[in-house]
Amino acid sequence: MAGHFFVKEVPHVLKVRIIADFEDRIQIVMDRDEVSRKTAKKNLNTIDNHRKKWTQHLYGISPEDASLYDITLFIRTITVDDAVEIICKILSFNRFKTTEASQAKIEDLYLASQVKVALVDIKHDINVTAENGKITIKTAALLGEEQQIKEKLSAAASDVIGVNEVDVRIQMDNKQSYD
C-alpha cells in the first residue's frame, strides 16, 4: 500500500498507482461481504480516508500526489491483464534495470530500516538514513536529555549488523519537561 514511499529515491524501481473504478469496488465489497450498496460505499470511503490519513501521518505526503508515481493505471477500460502487460513492458526499459548505484540505495534503505527498528523502543520520533554503512540519526530532545539519548541511540545502532559508523544529530526541543 505504501511501499513506493519507501523506495521513492531508488531509480530502478517502477512506482505504479492502480486505481479501480469506484463502482466496481462497491460491487466487489457488496458481493464479498454480503452488504448493501450504501454500506459497501460507506466502508470503502472509510477505508480510503483511513489509508490517506495513515500515509499523511507516516510519510507527510498524500497518496494521491501524482509525482510519487511513474505511472497511474485506471482499471475500467483497460483490464487487469492489460495493466500487467503495460507494467511488464515498462520494466523491460533500460531505465528500470538494476545498477550498482541503485542496488546500493536499496541496501542503504534496508540498513536504515533495520536501525530504525532497533531504535524504536528508545525513541520513536527519529529519522534514520544510511550510506555505505554510515548511519545518520536525527531527532529532537529536551535540554539536559540530549547526551543520554545520543549515547543510547548510538549504542543500539552500532549493534546492528552492517553499521560501520553512527552520527546522531539532536535538535533541541523547546518544550520543557515537568516530571
Chain-centroid distance, C-alpha 10? 12
pTM of the full structure: 0.69
The pLDDT of residue 175: 58
Give pLDDT, residue 1: 58
Question: What is the pLDDT at residue 8?
Answer: 75
Grid cell 552492517 in the structure block, residue: 162
How, if at all, do strands 165-173 and 134-142 pair?
parallel
Spell out the SS3 assignment of 74-126.
EECCECHHHHHHHHHHHHCCHHHCCCHHHHHHHHHHHHHHHHHHHHCCCCCCC
Q: List average pLDDT for each run of 10 residues in the chain, which is 179 residues long.
A: 71 90 94 96 95 82 85 92 96 92 91 94 91 95 88 95 95 59
Listed in sequence order, the residues at least 6 apart from 124 whose beta carbon sits closer than 8 Å to its beta carbon are none
Which pLDDT value is given to residue 178?
40
Cα 158 from Cα 177, distance rounded (Å): 29
In the chain, what are the domain boundaries? 3-96, 100-173
Q: Which fold has domain 3-96?
A: Rossmann fold (3.40.50)
Q: Is 17 exposed, middle or buried (0-12, 13-18, 19+ CB in 10 A)?
A: middle
Please give the Cα distance from 75 to 80 (Å, whole number): 7
Q: What is the pLDDT of residues 31-79, one digit of tens each?
A: 999 999 999 999 999 999 998 888 888 777 888 888 888 999 999 889 9
**Distance, CA of 11 to CA of 17 (rounded, Å):** 16
Q: Do 3-96 and 100-173 show the same overall fold?
A: no
Per CATH, which fold does 100-173 belong to?
Answer: Histidine-containing Protein; Chain: A; (3.30.1340)
Cell of 8: 521513492
Nearest CA-CA partner of 128 in 166, 155, 164, 174: 166
User: What's the confidence (pLDDT) of residue 2?
Assistant: 63
